[in-house]
Amino acid sequence: MSDVVLDIQSLTKTVEKNKSIVEDVSFQVKKGEILGLLGPNGAGKTTTIRMIVGLIKKSAGTVWIHGHDMDEHGKSCNEQIGAIVENPAFYDYMTGWKNLQQHARMASQPVSSTRMEEIVQLVQLDDAIYDKVKKYSLGMKQRLGVAQALLHQPALLILDEPTNGLDPKGIRELRDYLRNLAEDGISTLVSSHLLSEMQLMCDRVVIMENGRLIDETVIGELNNAERAKPNAVAFHIDSKQKKQAKTVAGTLADVEILDGEHDDTLLLHVRAEQIPAVNKQFVESGIDVYAIEHKKTSLEEKFLSLTAEDETMQTREVQ
């Protein structure tokens, strides 16, 4: 059997007047891999997920699960998928265990009590599984949702914005659960806009903007690049002077402009011994520098740079 669990090719969704809200999106998820689907609100992440799981009809493209076309083998393919799209739904007046039992009754294959107990232990709800769900915290409800999605032993788990509303402790717990699942060979496709968290959670990320796939990044390679290129320096300046600061920086030898995540920050790749000279050049050019700090080039920086470039290209196309 192929190591590729999910393979989508040229997935497209058009609406009235032939407007594309998802256009020609292709990527794969391998066995035991956590793939992050990133993008700002409206980028097409949820629409892509809904097409994958069959909640909405795609306009074009193919979805393959373990080498089987979803259009031709929909039932067997869906049995390989466990999904939480938007918020998981529960009967609050019932216990967590009763909710799992109710979900198990709807599965196409019988789910044993032993399997349910294994899943409860996996998501670490042992101490609360017989409490009513209305007493659960949001993080506990997310874990119960993951438990429901895993009951029928899927090969692929799909989570749409699972960290929404979670506190930092809940987010970390979810990350740890997904890593444990990956070690057991279960693949996960997770959409989010929390970039720093995705860098910690995922093996690889794909970035969407305006319904299109604009980049694919292997997290290990990004982390290695950070270690190999540590001399990213953030110059904090007046936001009104950023354009001028970029012009000045562009004239300096051995200085690379990396831009920055905020209007009042200019991120440069510059050697430590060059910093005083760069700062002096800014000051002599009338640019106020409020602070200077070393900073890693993170997934967030790359994302913001890519989406800014894409917006610029979109503007040029319209013009």
Fold match between domain 4-223 and domain 231-295: no
Structural Rg of the chain based on CA atoms: 23
- Residue 176 contacts residue 184 (beta carbons within 8 Å): no
pLDDT computed for residue 229 by the predictor: 54
pLDDT computed for residue 223 by the predictor: 64
Least confident residue range of 100-109, 167-176, 188-197, 222-231 = 222-231
More confident residue, 215 or 187: 187
Average pLDDT of the chain to the nearest whole number: 84
pLDDT computed for residue 224 by the predictor: 63
| Calpha distance 265→235 (Å, rounded) | 6
The model carries a pTM of 0.72
Helices (H) and strands (E) in the chain, counts: 11, 14
Question: What b-and-e string marks burial along 268-299, b requiring 16 or more CB atoms within 10 Å of the CB?
Answer: bebeeebbeebbebbeeeebebeebeebebbb
Task: With cut-offs at 50, 70 and 90, classify the pLDDT of residue 315.
Answer: very low
SS3 178: helix
pLDDT computed for residue 233 by the predictor: 83
Residue 60: pLDDT over 90: yes
Residue spans of alpha helices (H) in 82-212: 96-105, 113-122, 138-150, 168-183, 195-201
Residue 297: pLDDT over 70: no
Calculate mean pLDDT across residues 163-182. Answer: 81
pLDDT computed for residue 171 by the predictor: 81
What residues does each domain of the chain span?
Answer: 4-223, 231-295
Calculate mean pLDDT across residues 196-212. Answer: 88
Q: At what angle do helices 138-150 and 168-183 cross, to 10 degrees?
A: 20
pLDDT digits 0-9 by tens, 11-41: 999 988 788 899 999 999 999 999 999 888 8
| Calpha distance 24→71 (Å, rounded) | 17
pLDDT computed for residue 1 by the predictor: 45
Name the CATH superfamily housing domain 231-295: B family DNA polymerase, N domain, alpha/beta motif (3.30.70.2250)
SS3 236: strand
Which residue matches tokens 């949702």? Answer: 145
Would you say how long the chain is, in residues? 319
CATH class, domain 4-223, is: alpha beta
| Calpha distance 294→271 (Å, rounded) | 10
| Calpha distance 283→277 (Å, rounded) | 10
